[in-house]
Structure 1
């Protein structure tokens, strides 16, 4: 995967997928793609919850937006985000795009992903093709990008052209969240591409214990939030969705400047 801005981001030959396999430990089932790298997780007694910390942070757009009409995940994994949004955002249409058909089958057979219905669409497709489809332009209020293959050596899509296409799909306002590896060379490349695509309106939360860093990219008009109001809202998120929203605010305060008790972006 190069950081070229040329539109031909993928080899159009039939892709070769790594085998899908699973492990379990301490009541948690993990998804792997032929390696030790964890591609997703589900606590068996709480299948709709978000088990991994980075997956929880991928929902940090809730600090700034109400659940929008359409939420899209690029990369299904163990379907954690897809299930969570489907279950806890009942007014939203939820769509997930996944290239590997075996991952979709695994999500349904092993990770309790519900079948498609009027609100849920899981589509076997290339994320690059999806974001270039003009029928999606201006329709998505929250997009969550988690695109890794078996090597887990950085996102498989991550150049400026890709992120510009993602932005074209967003409403105004809207937020894109991206799972990145903070200690990998791909982090700097992806952050550069995100900033180019989103005119610098990008924040990367601090690295968490397993090295993931979640970036948030903002689309639409400039936004300003009273920090006290955000704190109150974070408490309501914790109560309603049982997500560590005040921890997100604490992490945010480490990487942005709060002026006159206001966060602006």
Structure 2
């Protein structure tokens, strides 16, 4: 299906359905594809590995104090709950389907503090609004519909607007499918929009592959510095950050890393 056709399809609100197994509740859009998950006994835990990797921006930035952490696509609210628990940052979430938000409040223990703002609308229109430019130095993008055939928003223009939302210094994480036909298209568009400043984490077993994109001055980081930062992130947030750092370093331990 073309991007144009899928974009038009994505304007319809998908039916929200639930399933449960082994103490985990899952969000679906009336298909077998999982759109999000929550461990019922530990709702703040990031159950799915790809959601943990979506927090890899912590390797490069502290959670903002005044500007917002941005999230495009609410899913089951896992990233939102995690950020509410572990940071004091305002959160700006964009979700197309109001039924998803309702399900998150009713079935996925999503709180509603004042520092959480959820806008219901098209993420592409949200990032294109100049009032958003510089609004979120952190942006997590996870935009899928019921068919889960690659992101529903993936143009160069969309990613360029995401870069503007990041402002002068920022990091974006994007959830892609590594072996899907949409992957090369997305990587090419991300590289064009971010002047090549893109880094990839390894694909996980479920097929997800998280990509980081950077705005602001070029970064040059020693491998030892990145590993030290990863140890700190792992200790503070309980995330496998050293694994992420080692993946980004690869065979470049003896030379600076450039992002």
Same fold (TM over 0.5): yes
CA distance in 2, matches of 1:134, 1:82: 24
Match in the other structure for 2:42 = 46
CA distance in 2, matches of 1:209, 1:14: 26
1:216-245 superposed Cα distances (whole Å, 9 cap, x missing partner): 000000111121122122111111100000
Match in the other structure for 1:71 = 69
Secondary structure (helix, strand or coil) at the match of 1:213 reads strand
Match in the other structure for 1:199 = 195
Match in the other structure for 2:101 = 104
- Report the alpha carbon displacement of residue 259 of structure 1 after superposing the two structures with TM: 6.2
Q: Which runs of at least 4 in structure 1 moved beyond 4 Å after TM superposition?
A: 1-4
CA distance in 2, matches of 1:197, 1:10: 19
CA distance in 2, matches of 1:237, 1:100: 33
Q: Which runs of 5+ in 1 are unaligned?
A: none
Secondary structure (helix, strand or coil) at the match of 1:172 reads coil
Q: Which runs of 5+ in 2 are unaligned?
A: none
Does the aligned pair in 1 maintain the 2:10–2:152 contact within 8 Å?
Answer: no
Does the aligned pair in 2 maintain the 1:82–1:95 contact within 8 Å?
Answer: no
CA RMSD, Structure 1 to Structure 2 (Å): 1.9
Secondary structure (helix, strand or coil) at the match of 1:73 reads strand
Secondary structure (helix, strand or coil) at the match of 2:83 reads helix
- Report the alpha carbon displacement of residue 126 of structure 1 after superposing the two structures with TM: 1.0
Q: Alpha carbons of 1:39 and 1:14: their partners in 2 closer, same or farther (altered >3 Å)?
A: closer
* 1:89 corresponds to 2:87: yes
Secondary structure (helix, strand or coil) at the match of 2:245 reads helix
Give the structure-2-normalised TM-score: 0.94
Match in the other structure for 2:167 = 171
Q: Alpha carbons of 1:3 and 1:22: their partners in 2 closer, same or farther (altered >3 Å)?
A: closer
Match in the other structure for 2:238 = 242
Number of residue pairs aligned between Structure 1 and Structure 2: 257
